[in-house]
Structure 1
Amino acid sequence: MCTDAELAPTAARPPPRALRHEPRRARADEAVRIVAFIKRAQELGFTLREAKQLLKLRGAGPLSAV
C-alpha cells in the first residue's frame, strides 16, 4: 500500500538537503572568486587597498569582509 507522501507530486515534496543550502554555496563560490582575484592582483603588484578598489569597480558586491 502507498502512503500519501509517496503519491504526492514531486513539486510538493521538500527539496533535497543539498538544494536547501544553495544560497550559502553561491556566497562561498563568490568568496573564492574574490580571494582568487585579490591574490592575482597582488601577484601583479597591486596592494591590498588597490585590489579592494578594483573589486569595487568590478562590482563584486559587498566588500565589508575584504
Structure 2
Amino acid sequence: MENSGDASAAQRASSEPRRTYTVREAAAILGVGAATLYRAIERKEVPFIGIGRRRLIPRVWVDQQVEKTA
C-alpha cells in the first residue's frame, strides 16, 4: 500500500528543479566526457554526493562552472 505522504513528496519533487545531475548529465552540460568527470571526482576536483556506487553532482556546482566559461 502506498503512503500518501510519499506520494505528495514525489509530486513536490517533480515540480521543483533538480538539485543534482548524474555524472553523464553534468558531463554533457559541461562539454566533457563522463570519464573525464569521473577522473576529476577521483582527484577531488569536483564535489559529489555518493550513494552506494552512484555519484551525483550538485546543480549549483555545474551552474557555477557554466557561468565561469560564459
TM-score by length of 2: 0.33
Q: Which has the higher strand share?
A: 2
Q: Which has the higher helix share?
A: 1
> Over alpha carbons, which structure has the higher Rg?
1
Larger RCO (CA under 8 A, 6+ residues apart): 2
